[in-house]
Amino acid sequence: MGAVGMLLVGIGSIVMLIFGVILLIKAFQTSVLWGLGYLFVPFVALIFVIMHWDDTKKPFLYSLVGFVVFVVGIALGGAGADLTALN
């Protein structure tokens, strides 16, 4: 279970990274201020996604799928670590 968990964590991380960069590119394509705000100001990324939902829907939802895969991987990895400690 530990190896599967690590694999899922890696896949989820890569998916989140790719679609996070795509969202950042979309913010900079909108304007430089949106891009800089996306990078440096808390919650501006969420505001940008909400205000530009038509353009950001797909990458945002794919990023959420990557997060779910990441969390499942952590859960499986943690369960594998617990099972090996019991032996």
| Among 51, 50, 63, 53, CA closest to 12 | 63
Span 61-75, average pLDDT: 96
Residue 48 to residue 87: CA distance in whole angstroms: 49
Mean model confidence pLDDT for the chain: 91
Q: Is pLDDT at 2 greater than 90 in this prediction?
A: no
Tens digits of per-residue pLDDT, 29-62? Answer: 999 999 999 999 999 999 999 999 999 999 999 9
Q: What is the DSSP letter of 27?
A: H
User: What's the pLDDT at 77?
Assistant: 83
Span 17-40, average pLDDT: 97
Q: What is the DSSP letter of 52?
A: T
